[in-house]
Amino acid sequence: MLASRVFSLVGRRSISTSLCLRAHGHAGVVKAEDYSLSGYVDRRDVPLPEVAFVRDLSAQQKALKEKEKASWSALSVDEKVELYRIKFNETYAEMNKGTNEWKTILGGVLFFLGVTGLILIWQKQFMYGAIPHTFSEEWLSAQTKRMLDMRVNPVEGISAQWDFDKNEWKK
């Protein structure tokens, strides 16, 4: 913002993007935005990400990095762990750990299935008209009798379940 106010004193040019603001503030070099740089990613199949996890090291971490340049047997276990945590966010064990997300998903799915069921009940009760007369008891029994007379599906189907000698369903 200060850069733009200085500029408005010099000339009446309107500056639209913050990028341009910073460009004119730092002697013509545009600072790279975060999204245009390589990122850190925790993935099973990317063992060594493009950048280290911690970008801006504290003084203590900088000292540790200097110590890393010497012999590694001089580092204690805690220092090695600290160096690991600078470079990586999670260990493979932490990264691959399962979550309890499946319970939420299953619960949500069943809940919405239940809601759908309620909607269907409401529809049957209040929306749909009468079913066709061909679903009445008399029609259905006459229909079944005709199917048996025609010997429909005599091997494995309905006529196989009927005892034609005793005139009843097979036990």
Partner 1 sequence: MRRLLARRMKFHLLGAFLVSVGCATLYKFGVAEPRKRAYAEFYKSYDPMKDFQAMKAAGVLECAPPK
Q: Which stretches of the chain bind partner 1, using CB under 8 A?
A: 44-45, 47, 146, 149-151, 154-156, 160, 164
Supply the minimum distance, in Å, between the C-beta of residue 168 and partner 1: 16
Beta carbons of 144 and 158 less than 8 angstroms apart: yes
Contacts 24+ apart (CB under 8 A), 104-113: none
Supply the minimum distance, in Å, between the C-beta of residue 146 and partner 1: 7
Which residue, 56 or 156, is less far from partner 1 as judged by CB? 156
Contacts 24+ apart (CB under 8 A), 1-4: none
Q: Please tell me what DSSP assigns to residue 163.
A: E
Nearest Cα to Cα of residue 52 among 60, 64, 42, 44: 42
Which residue, 84 or 111, is less far from partner 1 as judged by CB? 84
Which residue, 8 or 153, is less far from partner 1 as judged by CB? 153
Supply the minimum distance, in Å, between the C-beta of residue 148 and partner 1: 8
Which residue, 121 or 160, is less far from partner 1 as judged by CB? 160
Name the amino acid, one letter, at 56. Answer: D
Supply the minimum distance, in Å, between the C-beta of residue 151 and partner 1: 6
Supply the minimum distance, in Å, between the C-beta of residue 106 and partner 1: 24
Which residue, 55 or 151, is less far from partner 1 as judged by CB? 151
Q: Is the Cα dihedral 108, 114, 117, 123 positive or negative? A: negative
What is the rounded distance in angstroms from the CA atom of residue 36 to the CA atom of residue 59?
27
